[in-house]
Amino acid sequence: MKFRTILIHVLLFIATFATCMMAGAQWAFKDFWEITNWIYGIEYATLVMIFLSFHEFGHYFAARMHGVDVTLPYYIPFPFTFTINFGTFGAVIKTRTPILSRKALFDIGVAGPLAGFVVCVLYLIYGLNNLPPIDFIYAIHPEYLLEHSGNIPTHGLHFGNTVLYSFLTILIDTSSGFLPPMNEIYHYPFLNVGWFGLFVTTLNMMPIGQLDGGHISYAMFGRKIQFKIAKITWWILMTIGFFAILSFARDFLSLQSDIKFVIILKDIFLPPLNLLYNLFPIAFQGWGGWLIWGLIAKFFIKLKHPRVEDESPIGTKRMIIGWISFVILFLSFSYSGIYIIE
């Protein structure tokens, strides 16, 4: 490997670690533009980079095992911390030679999500077993004591719950510390990165095109069935996103306004929106980002997976692992994503 290529990988790793430190400082409510405050983001950044590395090197070593020439991971920094930011857009590896068989495609596709998922589970288990007392939150938010009599407000940034996180909070005894609500877990690096890792795993495990889930679906069922599964998945994402738009419209039209055009819209659309909400309240709780991810999948990633040369079946053991990987998708999926309550 050329020195220049290695240098690019190293510099991207360093840059991504730096932007993750900035994000970690932001989650700690510190001025992330002040370099001396980056120390508050070291734990967060380390956890993120470990997760990304396990995921990407899972792909890397599986590819090498099958004789596929691949690059080292390209880590992607994301420095714009004035937004809701995790410090990175993830990481990618590039294949230099084609993947020739469904078995190789399966192994390469499934290795990353499995490795990353194990890391996330360990993060969450450790984080839930080592929760600090509620004074930790009061130190970050003294206004909770001064203005809310010690109660944790329900407004602000929320991470949507997942089946796995809910199960772990029931399974693990957290009575020695304070179990934070979903609008406070971003202050806890292990819980924050554990949730973020599950979120990334969900995005990658969608059985669409050349996403990891698309590789797995193609290897398990073949091209025709994979395409059908991808279309069903796409419509599910579109439906969740559509109702998220309706939810936004309902909230907007519920606001007081003296503008005549808005009043007309309110008279026309608010009654049926309220009726829909009363009939299907859970439909209005979905994340609008699933619509965006669905559009990205449709027009950039593409729904249909390209053919591989060797279409031989992958065998029973791999099929079992494949079904387990889709259970992981179910456990990791957050219907509500990331949202804000005013």
Residue numbers of the domain that contains 10: 1-46+70-97
Count of domains forming the chain: 2
pLDDT digits (tens, 9 = 90+) for 53-86: 999 999 999 999 999 999 999 999 987 766 678 9
Contact 214, 305 (CB under 8 A): yes
In a domain, 55, yes or no: no
What is the structure's pLDDT at 341? 86
pLDDT of the chain, 342 residues: tens digit per residue: 688 889 999 999 999 999 999 999 998 888 888 899 999 999 999 999 999 999 999 999 999 999 999 999 999 998 776 667 899 999 999 999 999 999 999 999 999 999 999 999 999 999 999 999 999 999 999 999 988 888 999 888 999 999 999 999 999 998 888 999 999 999 999 999 999 999 999 999 999 999 999 999 999 999 999 999 999 999 999 999 999 999 999 999 998 888 989 899 999 999 999 999 999 999 999 999 999 999 999 999 999 999 999 999 999 999 999 999 999 999 999 999 999 887
**Domain match, 228 and 167 both:** yes
CA distance 5 to 328: 34
Report whether 308 contacts 184 (CB < 8 A).
no
Residues 132, 42 share a domain: no
User: Using CA of residue 228, residue 220, residue 312, residue 109, what is the dihedral sign?
Assistant: positive
Q: Quick check: is 60 in a domain? A: no
Same domain assignment for residues 111 and 246? yes
Domain's final residue, options 79, 97, 115: 97
Cα 190 → chain centroid: 15
Whether residue 295 lies inside any domain: the answer is: yes
Same domain, yes or no: 113 and 25 = no
Q: Where are the alpha helices (DSSP H) in the chain?
A: 3-27, 42-65, 102-129, 135-140, 143-148, 163-171, 189-205, 212-221, 223-253, 260-279, 289-296, 316-332
Cβ 134 vs Cβ 187: under 8 Å:
no
249 and 179 within one domain: yes
Residue 62 domain flag: no
Q: Please check whether residue 58 lies inside any domain of the structure.
A: no
Whether residue 133 is found in the same domain as residue 82 = no
Quick check: 303 and 251 in contact, CB under 8 A? Answer: no
Domain assignment of residue 309, yes or no = yes
187-196 in b/e burial notation, b at 16+ Cβ within 10 A?
bbbbbbbbbb
Strands 74-77 and 88-92: antiparallel
Contact assessment for residue 59 and residue 72, using Cβ atoms and an 8 Å cutoff: no
Based on the fold, state whether residues 137 and 283 are members of the same structural domain: yes
In angstroms, the CA 10 to CA 25 distance is: 23
pLDDT at 81: 60
Q: How far apart are CA 243 and CA 287, in angstroms?
A: 9
Whether residue 18 is found in the same domain as residue 143: no
Residue 273 lies in a domain: yes
pLDDT at 291: 96
Q: What is the pLDDT of residues 282-291, one digit of tens each?
A: 999 999 999 9
Helix (H, G, I), strand (E, B) or coil at 298: helix
* Predicted local distance difference test score (pLDDT) of residue 252: 92
CA pseudo-torsion sign 298, 300, 301, 303: positive
Same domain for 75 and 181?
A: no
The verdict on 112 and 248 lying in the same domain is: yes
Structural domain contains residue 53: no
> Are both 129 and 257 inside the same structural domain?
yes
Residues 158, 35 share a domain: no
